[in-house]
Structure 1
């Protein structure tokens, strides 16, 4: 017969196991929609970092009739000075789907929110009918393990794209 393994106590406030690194055993992760958990090396030293993802509301571009959005990042507890940012615009359809209309990526973005370090994305409008849009970004710190770093903002703007999805 096998001896039962100790079940770690879990704090409801943090969902973190209340056992030491040495006493922990493999098990089933708690069900969650969030990117929770800490990655460690063999000695228990924490790996990775948590960048802060910034996105603005989708909006009409000042330079024409287009949907526009921007993304940026802050270092959080990360040590590297560049990240790859993928930012995409999605338009809502009445079948309940968000359809991708444009994406932009930059693999050498410094932290900060100023205009020189934001990644812009835009898509020309076919009409000025009001439609719901989402601006969603994924930040991946270069050469460093990091959390998902995803941000999203939503707004209704006078821009409708009737052409093909991207």
Structure 2
């Protein structure tokens, strides 16, 4: 009987025996100053926004029409060594059929901030999302290190009041940009 109890205790993971030492709890990221931060992989569960007010996720009640906003995950472009992402829209309940679509690429840094690296604004975009009807943000990579990226898309329907919602799409991409933020 005593041997069974010992075997049972020995099968319990060590982290479960010590209170507060459970390895399943997330580890707080080490604090790094803004100046010392470098591009990195976002930890699991990192909020959609951190560090930069312009990245606030928005979704407000519609004062006018509500277009549907779409974007793809950041990815490597067919042009070698370039990160890319796109934004497009569908008409929703809007009456106008042209919009200005902006999409921006943000790179995650080890201080927990998302830093804007490039944006593109395309005007006169028809709904749908084909290659002729979207915005494309692109920037050459400085290295092929895996980094977390976000694509933020905002749609403003031409000559019509519309909701101010934006969307974010996130992916880890083998592209690091160590140059200037925008």
TM-score greater than 0.5 by the shorter chain: yes
Aligned residue in 1 for 2:8: none
Structure 2, unaligned runs of 5 or more: 1-56
Partner of 1:87: helix, strand, or coil? strand
TM-score by length of 2: 0.66
After superposition, residues 101-140 of structure 1 pair within 5 angstroms as 101-140=117-156
Structure with greater proportional strand content: 1
Aligned residue in 2 for 1:158: 174
CA distance in 1 between partners of 2:69 and 2:116 (Å) = 20
Aligned residue in 1 for 2:109: 93
Structure 1, unaligned runs of 5 or more: 1-32, 40-47
Change (3 A) 1:111 1:94: same
CA distance in 1 between partners of 2:147 and 2:118 (Å) = 15
Tell me if structure 1 keeps the 8 A contact 2:67–2:92.
yes
Partner of 1:63: helix, strand, or coil? coil
Answering whether residue 87 of structure 2 is matched by residue 71 of structure 1, we say yes
What is the number of equivalent residue pairs in this alignment? 126
- Runs of 4+ deviating beyond 4 Å: none
CA distance in 1 between partners of 2:95 and 2:122 (Å) = 19
Deviation per residue, 1:25-78 (Å, 9 max, x gap)? xxxxxxxx7634353xxxxxxxx1000001000001111101100000000000
CA RMSD of aligned residues (A): 1.3
Tell me if structure 2 keeps the 8 A contact 1:55–1:69.
yes
Deviation per residue, 1:99-137 (Å, 9 max, x gap)? 000000012111001111011111110000000000111
